[in-house]
Amino acid sequence: MPAVSKKGIAMPESPIRKLVPYAEKAYKDNKTVFHLNIGQPDIKSPQVAMEAVASHHLEILAYTRSEGSEEYRNKIAQYYKQNNIHVTESQIIVTTGGSEALLFAMGSIADVGDEIIIPEPFYANYNGFATASGVTIVPVNSKIEDNFALPPIEEFEKLITPKTKAILICNPGNPTGYLYSKEEIKKLAEIVKEHDLFLVADEVYREFTYDGAKHYSILEEDGLQDNAIIIDSVSKRYSMCGARIGCLVTKNAEVLKTAMKFAQARLSPPTFAQIASEAALSTPQSYFDDVIVEYKIRRDTLVKHLEEIPGVQVGHPKGAFYCIAQLPVKNTDNFAQWLLESFDIDGETIMVAPAAGFYSTPGVGNNQIRIAYVLNEESLIKAVNILKEALKIYKD
């Protein structure tokens, strides 16, 4: 039998999706599963986006430009200007989700065997994107005891080698919910300028900040025009995960020229999804104001009830809609599977994301889970109670 590739064998499973078969079995057993495992908001997508698709009468569903339609990119540039990010439409490449933007970025700045430093825990698919690109992730560990704040710059300095091409951050963070401060961004800006590196920022959760904190983009920082690359997406901002529209944004002309070759190779981003995403840009601020209020209530409810469980330690999110919880168990992969297979309360159980998959350092995060607070308050309280009762009887 022909062998599959070593790269394919090395591709990591999604820690978020690998438990799906066990959840499907739970459904067949007539259980209700509260999904805390995946960042699929239950917030309705903006009606203006849905109507734009429904009312559009295309006679030919044709290719768009490889970099995305000019009209859409102009509107994205206007959106960024409102957020104190000054770019032109020519500095934006529309992609098939933020995922493709990350692949384009890695393909444009790193060769096989090159290294990218990433504070861990990080979005699990960074591992997959790096493997697909032949790039080596070099982790710098952030700790739950420090609420996953930026590790000391000295820790980054120790890891920089001739193969280092970039530092990658997610801000606000998935899976931690950590929001990097302006001062932390400035520290990163200094180190990438000093060592002639790229600073790649996944800013897809820009709108979701709490407690009066403000997001500070790497493209707001002076002097980073050659170093900064933003990864963005409509998925979470407008609760449009299925649209699969994102973008890569940079002022570096060589990166843009290179990324365009990757964009041309996949022809174009999807047409109808661009129509919906362009319309979504006219969503009123009141939509986001309401969403932020709702997520803050959910965050506060989740953290409060988790902290009441003996032996559980919780990170305090300042952005996005995730948190990391450290549990009094040895292996949360086994625990998460057990929850779906063997535990319920009155026919109800929960699905969580084991956090080891959000690290690249072996053995780290085995006793942690990521929770997405994308359920309503009542469901979150029920879910945390199920977790509490499960921990009372679970044996490693």
Per-residue pLDDT reduced to its tens digit, 53-62:
999 889 999 9
pLDDT confidence of residue 17: 80
Q: Which SS3 state, helix, strand or coil, does residue 352 take?
A: coil
Domain-located, residue 249 = yes
CB contact at 8 A, 356 and 366: yes
- Domain residues for 105? 47-280
Residues 300, 325 within the same domain:
yes
- The average pLDDT across 14-27 equals 89
Query: What distance in Å separates the CA atoms of residue 151 and residue 293, rounded to the nearest whole number?
Result: 30
pTM: 0.96
Domain-located, residue 1 = no
Q: Which SS3 state, helix, strand or coil, does residue 273 take?
A: helix
User: What CATH number should be reported for the domain holding residue 86?
Assistant: 3.40.640.10
Residues 230, 378 within the same domain:
no
> What is the share, in percent, of the chain residues with pLDDT greater than 90?
96
What amino acid occupies position 16? I
Residues 190, 276 within the same domain:
yes
Residues 372, 337 within the same domain:
yes
What would the DSSP string read from start to end of 129-189?
Answer: HHHHHTPEEEEEE--GGGTTPPPPHHHHHHH--TTEEEEEEESS-TTT-----HHHHHHHH
> What is the share, in percent, of the chain residues with pLDDT greater than 70?
100
What would the DSSP string read from start to end of 197-255?
Answer: -EEEEE-TTTT-B-TT-----GGGSTT-TTTEEEEEESTTTTT-GGG--EEEEES-HHH
Residues 75, 184 within the same domain:
yes
> Number of structural domains, the chain?
2
Query: What distance in Å separates the CA atoms of residue 307 and residue 387, rounded to the nearest whole number?
Result: 12
Domain-located, residue 168 = yes
Residues 156, 247 within the same domain:
yes
Query: What distance in Å separates the CA atoms of residue 34 and residue 378, rounded to the nearest whole number?
Result: 11
- The average pLDDT across 75-102 equals 98
Is 364's pLDDT higher than 90? yes
pLDDT confidence of residue 290: 95
Per-residue pLDDT reduced to its tens digit, 196-241:
999 999 999 999 999 999 999 999 999 999 999 999 999 999 999 9
Residues 180, 313 within the same domain:
no
Query: What distance in Å separates the CA atoms of residue 373 and residue 365, rounded to the nearest whole number?
Result: 20
What amino acid occupies position 7? K
Residues 121, 246 within the same domain:
yes
Neighbours of 334 (CB within 10 A): 14
